[in-house]
Amino acid sequence: MDTRICTICKFEKSYSEFSKSKKGKNGHAEQCKACRLIKDREYYKKSPEIVLAKHERWAKKNPEKILANQRAYYERNREKILAKLKETRKVNGYNTTKKYKQNNKDKIACHNYVALAIKFGHIIRPESCDNCKVKCKPDAHHHDYTKPLEVTWVCRKCHGKEHRLDLPA
């Protein structure tokens, strides 16, 4: 017996068209994948905040799975991603860098100031992150660009978190 009847569309389909489920008969779900997808989309339209909150909870618990999925996606679609990037650069040129430099002169000046201060020994870069205490070559994170030498020394991972916290809501 390699088939099952979907409880929604009432068609007899092969087990490959049903998701696996411990609750279902013979280890498969009651609804076929196509019907389940439609039902899930309708639920999302009715209550997106519940679905997004559930997704955020899962994402916080499983960052390594998300990273693995992102890497796998990149490996599968590397040529397509690079082609799209090349096309974007062809359209925009490298103006995005130019625009960033024009719009963020204060940030760039602070970065350069810190780099020179490190080079001439006015600031000594610690050997570990101030947040997580991991031994690394930490980045200088500015909370206020008007005070270029007031920095927090953070690893790349913590630095990314700091910038995500600084985003406007």
* Rounded Cα–Cα distance for residues 130 and 150 (Å): 13
Q: Please write the tens of the pLDDT for every residue from 80-126.
A: 999 998 888 888 776 777 788 888 899 999 999 999 999 999 999 99
What single letter denotes the amino acid at residue 75? Answer: E
Q: Please write the tens of the pLDDT for every residue from 67-83.
A: 999 999 999 999 999 99
Whose structure tokens read 């390699």? Answer: 2
DSSP letter string, 143-164: S-TTSTT-EEEE-HHHHHHHHH
Return the beta strands (E) in the chain as ranges.
3-5, 12-14, 18-20, 28-32, 139-142, 151-154
pTM for the predicted model, two decimal places? 0.45
